[in-house]
């Protein structure tokens, strides 16, 4: 049985890695995909935004269905659906079809991580759970930053972005066959009904906020905020979030709440969710690094994923180091150390990266700090804060908070970058203007503006990493 559990865990890890790899892979091809469909940077981020929103919505539903009908069954269904969505994405004839296919893909990707986490909680002892959940989180985080390197390699070998999604198919087939053979079926005997009201209200709140941010126009940020389609949607999202809290407070005992109110009242729980949200926002910034490397340093679109090489390597090192530090120093101290490294790294990228060489060095430091954060600390911290009976819900909520950050941040980052370019490119998109540069002087001028545009974006990352650092200090003082 122990050998079978180990094999099952390997299958779950491969599945988690495959699904988490997706957003990293697409980031390396985002510029190429935008060129292929003739869409702007802001429009192009919808391929990521819709995917992450779909995952955020699907995660609790898949987790609940897995508890009721069997974790192996739902895991295999999710892998199959993810593979089918990948095929649709690869065959997309238009950008609209591409977006629909990404939603289908997200419906499969949303349940993979939470089902794997639920399996660990149902199969392993409490003493083993912390390390295994941390390892699963590390795989999830590493895949997000390693993906662009793999994406660039596939682009260089095939010359087509479609293959970035087709490679999921053979991996999915192997996972499905292996999972059917080695994963034991586990499920809970007593499962409450899902909190559909809370889920619907929270989803609408997230969607309203996302649409508001998307409606902010490049070059006229303040004017956009005065428009009803921006402030009205922001107001609506605030009302929906308030309604969601009230619904969770009054949820029936026969219903499993989307976010248990007793957890919402915990300051440590809320702070961990906040760090999860910020972590998702930091993951989202990596989507723009290939565009930054291309537009700031003149690297070709197909090779722009090289900018993720040092971050990917640093993240692998950081995840390994972070797991050891959690065991020796505890989760909160590890968060403090990772926060220091990530804050310093993003600051160096923003202000002291005059050429590609310096960027690679600075991004390596950033990757180490970020990798430590994406590994064990948050998962272990959440398992310590939440009661044992709510461990699965707490980890699922942490996953959702990270997905919310991933959902909201890309549109916001793209708008900031586009806004800084506005005075130079006029009504054109950044990509269109860049493709039509005809002289060295124009290219130099463009790269100078690109430096300032992306500096603003990386400065936000400095702030987010700094907040994670301060949160770690606070939790450390509380003895967590």
- pLDDT score at 218: 47
pLDDT higher than 60, residue 294: yes
Please give the Cα distance from 326 to 332 (Å, whole number). 8
Confidence of residue 130 (pLDDT cuts 50, 70, 90): low
Distance between CA atoms of residues 50 and 101, nearest Å: 10
In 183-330, which ranges are continuous DSSP H helix?
196-214, 221-225, 228-249, 261-264, 267-285, 289-297, 309-329
What pLDDT is recorded for position 297?
A: 81
| Side-chain half-sphere CA neighbours of 32 within 13 A | 24
Rounded Cα distance, 52 and 54, in Å: 5
3-state secondary structure of 217: coil
CA–CA distance, 397 with 404 (Å, rounded to integer): 10
The two beta strands, 193-194 and 255-256, are: parallel
Q: Which residue has the higher pLDDT, 181 or 65?
A: 181
User: What does pLDDT average to over the chain?
Assistant: 80
pLDDT at 53: 74
CA distance 138 to 375: 4
Of the candidate ranges 161-175, 211-225, 240-254, 355-369, the one whose mean pLDDT is the lowest: 211-225
Q: What is the pLDDT of residues 42-96, one digit of tens each?
A: 677 778 778 877 777 787 778 777 877 888 999 999 999 999 999 999 999 999 9
* Planar angle of CA 346, 400, 386, nearest 5 degrees: 100
The larger pLDDT score, comparing residue 455 to residue 302, is at: 455
Max mean pLDDT among 161-170, 312-321, 427-436, 471-480 falls in 161-170
Q: With 80 as the cut, is the pLDDT of residue 119 above it?
A: yes
- The token pair at 406 is 């991933």
Superfamily of domain 2-195+251-477: MFS general substrate transporter like domains (1.20.1250.20)
**What are the CA-CA distances from residue 176 to residues 73, 197, 201, 400, 444 (Å)?**
10, 33, 34, 25, 51
* Cα distance between residue 350 and residue 457, in whole Å: 8
pTM, two decimals, is: 0.76
Q: Are 343 and 466 in contact (CB under 8 A)?
A: yes
Tell me the mean pLDDT in the region 197-208: 80
| Average pLDDT value for residue range 422-428 | 63
Q: Looking at the chain, how many residues does it have?
A: 480
Look up tokens 């990352």; give the residue: 461
Query: What distance in Å separates the CA atoms of residue 32 and residue 347, rounded to the nearest whole number?
Result: 28
pLDDT of residue 84: 95
Question: 255: which strand partners?
Answer: 193
What angle separates helix 376-385 from helix 126-158, to the nearest 10 degrees?
Answer: 150
Ranking 162-166, 324-328, 436-440, 471-475 by mean pLDDT, the lowest is 436-440
Q: Look up residue 54 and give its two tokens.
A: 């779909």
Could you report the per-residue pLDDT of 324-338, keeping only the tens digit for each? 787 788 888 889 999
The helix/strand count (H/E) of the chain reads as: 22, 2
The alpha carbons of the chain give a radius of gyration, in whole angstroms, of 21
Residue corresponding to tokens 């998962």? 379
Q: How confident is the model at residue 214 (pLDDT cuts 50, 70, 90)?
A: low
Q: What is the mean pLDDT of residues 267-283?
A: 87
SS3 88: helix
pLDDT for the residue 330: 82
Q: How many CB atoms lie within 10 A of CB 344?
A: 17
Q: Are 424 and 445 in contact (CB under 8 A)?
A: yes
pLDDT at 461 over 80: yes
pLDDT for res 424: 67
Q: Please, are residues 172 and 79 in contact by the beta-carbon 8 Å criterion?
A: yes
The percentage of the chain sitting over the pLDDT mark of 90, rounded to a whole number, equals 17
In which band, very low, low, confident or very high, does the pLDDT at 347 lie, cut at 50, 70 and 90?
A: very high
Please determine, for residue 212, whether its predicted confidence score (pLDDT) is greater than 60: yes
Distances (CA, A) of 78 to 170, 171, 249: 15, 13, 31
Mean pLDDT of 241-245: 87
- End-to-end C-alpha distance for the chain, whole angstroms: 34
């Amino acid at each position: 049985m122990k050998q079978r559990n180990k094999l099952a865990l390997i299958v779950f890890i491969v599945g988690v890695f495959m699904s988490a790899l997706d957003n990293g892979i697409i980031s390396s091809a985002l510029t190429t995909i935008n060129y292929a469909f003739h869409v702007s940077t802001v429009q192009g981020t919808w391929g990521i935004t819709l995917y992450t929103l779909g995952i955020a919505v699907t995660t609790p539903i898949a987790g609940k269905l897995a508890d009721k009908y069997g974790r192996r069954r739902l895991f295999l269904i999710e892998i199959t659906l993810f593979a089918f969505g990948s095929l649709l994405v690869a065959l997309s004839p238009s950008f609209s079809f591409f977006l629909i296919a990404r939603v289908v893909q997200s419906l499969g990707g949303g349940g993979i991580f939470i089902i794997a986490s639920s399996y660990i909680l149902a199969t392993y002892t409490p003493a083993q759970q912390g390390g295994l959940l941390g390892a699963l989180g590390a795989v999830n985080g590493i895949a997000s930053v390693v993906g662009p390197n793999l994406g660039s390699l596939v682009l260089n070998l095939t010359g087509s972005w479609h293959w970035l999604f087709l490679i999921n198919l053979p991996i999915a087939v192997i996972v499905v066959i292996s999972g059917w053979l080695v994963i034991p079926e586990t499920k809970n005997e007593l499962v409450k009904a899902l909190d559909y009201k809370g889920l619907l209200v929270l989803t609408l709140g997230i969607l309203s906020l996302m649409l508001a941010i998307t409606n902010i126009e490049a070059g006229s940020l303040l004017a956009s905020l005065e428009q009803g389609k921006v402030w009205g949607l922001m107001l609506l999202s605030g009302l929906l979030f308030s309604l969601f809290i009230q619904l969770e407070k009054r949820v029936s005992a026969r219903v499993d709440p989307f976010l248990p109110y007793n957890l919402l009242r915990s300051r440590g729980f809320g702070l961990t969710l906040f760090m999860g949200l910020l972590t998702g926002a930091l993951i989202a910034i990596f989507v723009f690094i290939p565009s930054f490397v291309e537009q700031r340093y003149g690297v070709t679109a197909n090779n722009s994923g090289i900018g993720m090489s040092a971050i990917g390597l640093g993240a692998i090192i950081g995840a390994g180091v972070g797991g050891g530090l959690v065991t020796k120093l505890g989760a909160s101290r590890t968060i403090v150390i990772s926060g220091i490294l990530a804050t310093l790294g993003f600051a160096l990228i923003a202000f002291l990266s005059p050429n590609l060489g310096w960027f690679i060095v600075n991004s390596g430091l950033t990757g180490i700090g970020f990798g430590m954060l994406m590994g064990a600390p948050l998962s272990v911290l959440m398992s310590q804060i939440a009661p044992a009976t709510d461990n699965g819900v707490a980890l699922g909520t942490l996953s959702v908070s990270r997905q919310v950050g991933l959902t909201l941040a890309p549109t916001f980052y793209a708008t900031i970058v586009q806004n800084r370019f506005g005075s130079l490119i006029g009504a054109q998109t950044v990509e269109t203007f860049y493709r039509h540069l005809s002289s060295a002087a124009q290219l130099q001028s463009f790269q100078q503006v690109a430096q300032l545009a992306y500096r603003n974006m990386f400065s936000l990352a400095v702030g987010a990493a700094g907040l994670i650092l301060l949160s770690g200090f606070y939790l450390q003082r509380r003895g967590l």
